Amino acid sequence: MLDITPSDVLIVVDVQYDFLPGGSLAVAGGDEIVPLINTLAKRFINVIFTQDWHPADHISFASQHPGKNPFDLIDLPYGPQVLWPDHCVWNTHGAELSADLDIPHGQLMIRKGYNRQIDSYSGFQEADRETLTGLAGYLNERDVDKLYVVGLATDFCVGWTAIDAAAGGFDVAVIEDATRAIDNAGSLEKAWAEMQTAGVSRLQSKDILGKSVA
């Protein structure tokens, strides 16, 4: 069993209504992980949230590209971009974190994707791979070495956050059963392969809780 130390950080990625059943970009089973995330969070002194937070005319929305549909791939100045249904528009219900999260000790919220022209799956940097969010600086100032990542979606915001964390020199693990995936066009398998290459550990919640939590 893994020992969680007082300096370890749990990052809870994008547990927002638009990614939960009934939301505009619903991730299958997304609601199932909320109780497990609450249980895991009790083991951590340090919990950080990310929140996908887009303007209504965000460049990642298919609605902004005439003739395009959600899940189409386009080329943007910073690289390929999957187009999405409108989601997580700031100040809408869909952008709110689930009220079923019970993590009162959460200490920081990183909003991402608020620049109209650049998407941001990762909690560390935007999709241009230049614009930083400040999260690495925050963690480094706090002398954090080890990160655990949970939330939605495994193959996009969880995966990119974990890979950027590893690239930034953090020891990072994704707790697989506390994530759910979009899994579009092989994206989940690809994300796990990329995470493995980046040195991200793949854990299950029982590795931390010491028992299987159904």
* Binding window for ligand VGL (CB under 6 A); candidates: 94-102, 127-135, 148-156, 199-207: 148-156
- Is residue 14 flagged as an active site residue? yes
Task: Rank residues 124 and 156 by Cβ distance to ligand VGL and give the closer one.
Answer: 156
Distances (CA, A) of 2 to 82, 135, 208, 214: 36, 24, 5, 19
Among residues 4, 25, 47, the alpha carbon closest in space to that of 152 is found at 25
How far apart are CB 143 and ligand VGL at their closest, in Å? 28
Window 67 to 96, contacts with ligand VGL (CB under 6 A) = 84
Tell me the window of 30-38, 153-161, 196-204, 205-213 that interacts with ligand VGL (CB under 6 A).
153-161
Q: Which is nearer to ligand VGL, 6 or 80 (CB)?
A: 80
- How far is C-alpha 61 from the chain's CA centre? 18
- Smallest separation (angstroms) from Zn ion to the CB of 152: 11
Report in angstroms how near the CB of residue 102 gets to ligand VGL at its nearest: 21
Q: Is 3 exposed, middle or buried (0-12, 13-18, 19+ CB in 10 A)?
A: exposed
- For position 156 contacting ligand VGL by CB under 6 A, the verdict is yes
* Distance of alpha carbon 49 from alpha carbon 14, whole angstroms: 7
Q: Residue 46's beta-bridge partner residues?
A: 9
Active site residue 86: no
Q: Which residues pair with 146 in a beta bridge?
A: 171
Work out which of 52, 86, 126, 164 binds Zn ion, going by CB under 5 A.
52
Question: CA 128 → CA 53, 114, 164, distances in Å?
Answer: 17, 13, 13
Per-position x/- string for 98-117, each x denoting binding to Zn ion as judged by CB under 5 A, each - no binding? ---------------x----
The residues binding ligand VGL (CB under 6 A) are: 14, 19, 52, 84, 121, 152-153, 156-157
The residues binding Zn ion (CB under 5 A) are: 52, 113
